[in-house]
Amino acid sequence: MYTNFSLEEVIAAVDDFLVKSGLSDNTLSRYRRFGFNYFRDGFSAEGYYFYSEELAESLVAKFHQQVLNGQRSERDFRTIRKVHELMKEHVKNGKILYHDLPFWNIQYPCNELKEALVRYLASMEQSGYSELTIREANSIIRLFLLHMESKGKHTLDCFSAEDIENYLPVLRQKWSSGMSNPIYYLRGFFAFLYERQEIRQDLSLVLKVNAASKIKVKTGFEANEIEAILTAIDRSTPLGKRNFAMITLAVHSGLRQIDVLNLKLQDIHWKDAEISIVQRKTNRQLILPLDQETGDAIADYLLHGRPTSKSTFVFLRSVAPYTNLKVGSCIGSRIVQKYAALSGVVWTTEERKGFHSFRRSLGRELLENDVPVCTISEILGHAYRNSTKQYLSVDVKHLRECALPLNELRCTKEALL
């Protein structure tokens, strides 16, 4: 499909956006010499003067295949994709607001099934579900619809209870972390379709039984390990000041990573020594005290480390463009893993998982200091009290008090050594 924009007009708009974003000369040179010229050559070879999203998409796919064949690098592919997404954004909206790359080449089912999924996700958003919850539901339901399509079922009225039952073993293989969430989202999807009379049978009834949750006991960091991680951070650099402030905030407040990344300047009430946010996961307001150590760390970053930016987010990227850190990324795990390695703290992916480890540490510490579970629930911002019970399993101090003596048990056989 042709547009009214010439390729050079679109490239000029992207170049202007990159310059205004404050990128370094080397980075700009890479976009101009490599990214822009790749599309210039591709369009010229096809005899195209005007911008075409379809041709640009095919050029990106061609480059990706070369990456898979080992002919091109993944870094070069990211540059090509970035230019493509920026060009697409300019043509679509007349301006560029795009920064982060979406996942590449996500497959969706046919229009009827995809539109049903879009309607359900919109209803979840209206009901107040968080962004991350909606993203997980999208992934689970999309894979189910693709599976149905692979079985030749392209319309909603083709689905049956038997299809759902046959899909459960497939679902179990895809979601090794547990079936509870996938079944919950699929059940909600089918109930939504039935209420809107888009399917004749209430297929949610097939998934009425709740799946047992897969529980892992994760202890978080010990106090000496947290101190070692904080000490390992070089606070003389802007990046070090930012990471120190983020980790200190997580350690003292127990905030989830998503709430740390989304913290805004107006959320910090310096005079009242409070932080007031609406939690992204629960959509509930949470007000926490701003202790001296955390306040000093954030102030040091704001005054001496944070780049000049119009963004209202507290924590920003350390390189241009100076925007907020990407939500849903692995940045928390990478930051914590980096300083854990520098400090000599042992890191295992099964036990440690970024900022949430500090949240677990705070929950355990509060329990060990005899803080009531209801109070811990309020501090951590849990929507349900049961969410706090996971910390009971790591409170070794009080678990020892529950252990029964073995004095009355007589040993009838020799112990094997």
Please, are residues 376 and 355 in contact by the beta-carbon 8 Å criterion?
no
User: What is the pLDDT at residue 2?
Assistant: 46
- Domain match, 150 and 293 both: no
Query: Would 170 be classed as within a structural domain?
Result: yes
Q: What is the dihedral of CA 118, 119, 125, 126, to 10 degrees?
A: 160
* 5/49 Cα distance (integer angstroms): 9
Q: Is the peptide bond before 182 cis (omega within 30 degrees of 0)?
A: no
Helix 37-45 to helix 74-93 angle, to the nearest 10 degrees?
70
Encoded tokens for 416: 């094997």
User: What is the pLDDT at residue 406?
Assistant: 66
Query: Would 106 be classed as within a structural domain?
Result: no
Instruction: Give per-residue burial for 187-209: e unless 16+ CB within 10 Å, then b.
Output: bbbbbbbbeeeebeeebbebbee
- Domain match, 313 and 361 both: yes
pTM above 0.85, yes or no: no
Query: Would 80 be classed as within a structural domain?
Result: yes
pLDDT tens for 104-141 read 667 888 889 999 999 999 999 898 887 778 888 999 99
242: CB partners within 8 A, 6+ apart: 301, 305, 306, 315, 316, 318
Q: How many CA atoms lie within 13 A of 273 on its CB side?
A: 7
Query: Would 101 be classed as within a structural domain?
Result: no
User: What is the pLDDT at residue 330?
Assistant: 73
User: What is the pLDDT at residue 334?
Assistant: 85
Please, are residues 387 and 379 in contact by the beta-carbon 8 Å criterion?
no
Please, are residues 355 and 257 in contact by the beta-carbon 8 Å criterion?
yes
User: What is the pLDDT at residue 217?
Assistant: 59
Expressed as residue numbers, the domain containing 344 is 223-400
Query: DSSP class of residue 200?
Result: S
Domain boundary among 159, 176, 207: 207
- Domain match, 247 and 376 both: yes
Q: Print pLDDT tens along the chain (417 aa).
A: 445 889 999 999 999 998 888 788 888 999 999 999 999 999 999 999 999 999 999 999 999 888 888 888 888 998 999 999 999 989 988 888 766 666 666 788 888 999 999 999 999 989 888 777 888 899 999 999 999 999 999 999 899 999 999 998 888 887 766 788 899 999 999 999 999 999 999 999 988 866 555 556 566 788 899 999 999 999 999 999 999 999 999 999 988 888 999 999 999 999 999 999 998 877 888 999 999 999 999 999 999 999 999 899 999 988 888 888 876 667 888 888 899 889 998 877 666 667 888 888 777 777 777 666 677 677 777 665 666 566 555 555 555 666 666 666 666 655 544
Q: What CATH code is carried by the domain that includes residue 376?
A: 1.10.443.10
Query: Would 26 be classed as within a structural domain?
Result: yes
- Domain match, 305 and 385 both: yes
User: What is the pLDDT at residue 282?
Assistant: 79
The total number of structural domains in the chain stands at: 3
User: What is the pLDDT at residue 22?
Assistant: 78
